[in-house]
Amino acid sequence: MKRAIVPVAIAAALSFSHQASALEWDGFLTAGFSVHDQEDATYLDAITEDIRFENDSKFGLQVTADVSENMQVVSQILAAGSDENFDLDVEWAYLDWVLNDTVSIRGGKVKEPVFLISDYIEVGYAYPWIRPPQEVYRNNPINTINGFEGLIQMDVGGMGLTIQPYLGSNTEAVPGAPGLTFDASNFYGAAIQLASRSFTAQVSYLTTDVDVSGSTGLVDTSTGFPVPFSSDGTATLTSFGLSTDVNNFVAYAEYVTRDIEAESAVPMDSLFPDQDAWYVTIGYRMGNFLPHLTIANSEADPLAGASQSPLTPSPGVSQDSITLGVRYEINDSAAFKFEVQSVEPDLAASTSSGLFNTVPTGFAADDSAILISAAVDVIF
């Protein structure tokens, strides 16, 4: 039997069981380490020149409880090594009301279907990489909303058509800027997905009003008080994705574009510049092995108005990467993965350091950093 890469851990949330009065537990775990060859720099959340396990290690539980014959509550609880050493977070928690065979409505804390694997992004077993290509998947600072989501599923020419509109709001801390809060209101969007047994195609769009406020961490020397920050505007994000798994050939491709329009004197792009990103992954399954290659790129626009901001402007993410990896199926519920990744930040793009927190010591234009990662993914 061919082992397809299937989002097993979310299957219960996307299909409905008519057995009432049931409480179902599904779980997943990733144990992994990463290391790179650069001094005095951190890549992503916790990858350094020392072998560390925080960035990719995580444990999650999904709980599904039947309320009635056509209604259930679904929640996912996640503990990640990169989040304050495995602090527990409720990733999503919603009421799923199945109206008929075609339409269901979810209300509560729901996941936005922005990318191909947004619904199961934490479940490492469900995809070939140790972590999804970060050039694309780091473009949306808010991954969940408090609100409502519709799920419309129908058959079109022997293929499954899924339409997911959503509406809500959320508040999150601004990544990399302690003291600032990112508030998203009038947050709405939709994803349209067409899928068959061998391919999936998706287009997604979202827009939201954005208000960033708080303390910059700087002190006004004339008053002795912290320097405040306030900016508002509109953010939009559009993505396109395609995946296929046929005759042992596996491929993924996604493109995302992010656009920020400030409506205040202080430019929003000092924190979230406009950005385009894409990746292509190809692989070939050979028995229990799936070797794969990923090429990715992210390019941020120049910050024309960032000099008006009291903050040091974010140059965004401008970098290229090439990843060579292999996935080995240990059994039907566990997989081992190993990857070597070459990352080249575009140092000429507004002093960008890519996904490094700062330019590595001694790094020059056209230099590349090498990352090595290994992980075991389990579902249960």
Segment 51-87, tens digit of pLDDT: 999 999 999 999 999 999 999 999 999 999 887 778 8
Which is more confident, 272 or 334? 334
The answer to the question of residue 262 being in a domain is yes
The answer to the question of residue 158 being in a domain is yes
The answer to the question of residue 30 being in a domain is no
The answer to the question of residue 280 being in a domain is yes
**Least confident piece of the model among 11-25, 205-219, 274-288, 297-311:** 11-25
Please give the pLDDT value at position 351: 57
Please give the pLDDT value at position 273: 85
Which is more confident, 379 or 9? 379
Please give the pLDDT value at position 10: 42
Confidence of residue 198 (pLDDT cuts 50, 70, 90): very high
Please give the pLDDT value at position 220: 59
Domain hosting 342: range is 96-379
Strands (E), the chain: 23-36, 58-68, 71-80, 88-98, 103-111, 144-156, 159-173, 180-195, 199-219, 226-246, 249-262, 275-284, 289-300, 319-331, 334-345, 369-379
Q: Are 41 and 361 in contact (CB under 8 A)?
A: yes
Q: Are 69 and 18 in contact (CB under 8 A)?
A: yes
Please give the pLDDT value at position 340: 98
pLDDT for 146 beyond 80: yes
- Look up the pTM and report it: 0.87
Please give the pLDDT value at position 303: 60
Number of domains in the chain: 1
What phi and psi, each to the nearest 5 degrees, are found at residue 199?
-150, 160
The answer to the question of residue 70 being in a domain is no
The answer to the question of residue 19 being in a domain is no
CATH of the domain at 309: 2.40.160.10
Please give the pLDDT value at position 181: 86
Q: Are 86 and 80 in contact (CB under 8 A)?
A: yes
Please give the pLDDT value at position 1: 39
Please give the pLDDT value at position 12: 42
The answer to the question of residue 104 being in a domain is yes
The answer to the question of residue 152 being in a domain is yes
As a whole number, mean pLDDT of residues 150-159 equals 95
pLDDT for 11 beyond 60: no
**Least confident piece of the model among 35-39, 111-115, 121-125, 301-305:** 301-305
